[in-house]
Amino acid sequence: MIAVAPMPELTDLILEVGGHELQVCMQCGTCTAVCPWPRVKPFSPRQVIRYMAFGFEGFEQEDLWNCVTCRTCVQRCPRGIDLLEVMRAARAVMLESGSGPRTFSGPLASLRTEGNPWAGERQERYGFAAPRPVPPYDTDKDYLFFSCCTQSYDPRNRRVGTAMLDILNTAGVRYGCLGAAESCCGDQARRIGAQDVYDDVKQQNMTLFEEHGVRELIVASPHCLQTINQDYAKGTELHATHYATFFHRLVQDGHLILSKPIEAKVTYHDPCYLGRHAGEYEAPRELLRAIPGLQLLEMPRNRERSLCCGGGGGGIWLDVPSEERFSVLRVQEALRTGAEIIATACPYCTAMLEDAIKNLDVEHALRVLDIAELVAQSMTTEAGQ
């Protein structure tokens, strides 16, 4: 429950660190109506904004950390307010004052020391590639492959990373990696308002990119995609492409042939940062349609209306009760389509959906697979098999 005790200096601080759009909110409540949270527990972004605008002490409590940055509200706000930026600014003020979820301290400490939030050793960043050689990036290469920390250190997602490298190798893409020198893109740190941590990892990566003359990247997560294209790339020639978009182009251009049938009913879960944030809805679906034997089924909430997995905006670092997890709702929606596979294109979605499948004890009925895993299973290899 939010306590009502005016602290106007809080509003000033939020405005100072970038939350100025809260001043144009007309309190229409559209954001609350479309936000996924009220489906599982009381939460009103409209009210959070109102409390921020009037400096009411207490808005920083649990409510502030709920937002998973799914962007549903931003699509619909009649004033065009980027609520994610307002939340980020308020979170930055709260973190600065020492107030934030306890579960954030481990990932932030690991980001500072190892360049990833999962307490993984820096040297192990490309351990998922073994026994494949990891080609070093140099100026002869067309692309830098940039791994997501979750792909590098989460055991489930490491399999997705190897599938990506297999696809790039099979298609003869001239790519290289920067290995242990690479750091997290910093998306989660930025979204929770840990600006100093974000600035550090961004600086490390930008220095590395400049030293190696990097221009084009293939990224392993839609969160890296948006962070690099929307922030790192400002005023530079950097450009990132999400792997699903890239693999779709390989198929279109004939560099990748999907010939091995996968006889399965598959539904596709749109990751927020690939769909609502980056506007990419069709490339993953086109890839699935290109796989012989695969039957694509849609959940009622798809594309712009897709339900978030709950992992963005620091959500993957929070300890959320199972009855409040969007991923559990999403798995139930997937089951209702009759699909036996829920495909996705984001390491957070894979981790969250995998967890929900176990939580619901439906491993016998539904599996989560990344688009890359399905493409790797279906592709014709060098030997033509």
Binding site for ligand SF4 (CB under 6 A): 25-31, 34-35, 37, 45-46, 49, 67-73, 77-79, 81, 83-84
Name the H helices within the chain: 8-16, 30-34, 45-54, 62-66, 72-76, 83-96, 105-114, 149-153, 155-170, 187-191, 195-212, 222-227, 243-252, 282-289, 326-336, 347-360, 371-378
Tell me whether residue 47 or residue 241 sits nearer to ligand SF4 (CB atom). 47
Q: What is the spatial distance between Cα 106 and Cα 243, in angstroms, rounded to a whole number?
A: 29
Instruction: Answer for the pair 351, 308: CB distance below 8 angstroms, yes or no.
Output: no
- The nearest distance, CB 384 to ligand SF4, in angstroms, is 46
- The nearest distance, CB 299 to ligand SF4, in angstroms, is 18
- The nearest distance, CB 231 to ligand SF4, in angstroms, is 18
Angle between helices 282-289 and 243-252 (to 10 degrees): 50
Tell me whether residue 72 or residue 327 sits nearer to ligand SF4 (CB atom). 72
Tell me whether residue 26 or residue 119 sits nearer to ligand SF4 (CB atom). 26
- The nearest distance, CB 218 to ligand SF4, in angstroms, is 27
Tell me whether residue 115 or residue 271 sits nearer to ligand SF4 (CB atom). 271
Tell me whether residue 91 or residue 202 sits nearer to ligand SF4 (CB atom). 91
- The nearest distance, CB 225 to ligand SF4, in angstroms, is 18
- The nearest distance, CB 234 to ligand SF4, in angstroms, is 22
- The nearest distance, CB 58 to ligand SF4, in angstroms, is 18
Tell me whether residue 29 or residue 172 sits nearer to ligand SF4 (CB atom). 29
Q: What is the spatial distance between Cα 77 and Cα 79, in angstroms, rounded to a whole number?
A: 5
Position 128: which residue type? Answer: F
How do 294-297 and 341-344 pair as beta strands? unpaired
Checking 138-143 for CB contacts under 8 A at 24+ apart, the result is: 138/176, 138/212, 139/212, 139/213, 140/174, 141/174, 141/175, 141/176, 142/173, 142/174, 142/175, 142/216, 143/173, 143/174, 143/175, 143/176, 143/216, 143/217, 143/218
C-alpha to C-alpha distances, 138 to 147, 179, 215, nearest whole angstrom: 17, 12, 11
- The nearest distance, CB 74 to ligand SF4, in angstroms, is 7
Instruction: Answer for the pair 62, 99: CB distance below 8 angstroms, yes or no.
Output: no
Tell me whether residue 79 or residue 265 sits nearer to ligand SF4 (CB atom). 79
Task: Starting at the earlier edge strand, list the strands of the sheet with 367-370.
Answer: 294-297, 264-268, 341-344, 367-370
Tell me whether residue 46 or residue 248 sits nearer to ligand SF4 (CB atom). 46
Q: What is the spatial distance between Cα 303 and Cα 128, in angstroms, rounded to a whole number?
A: 31
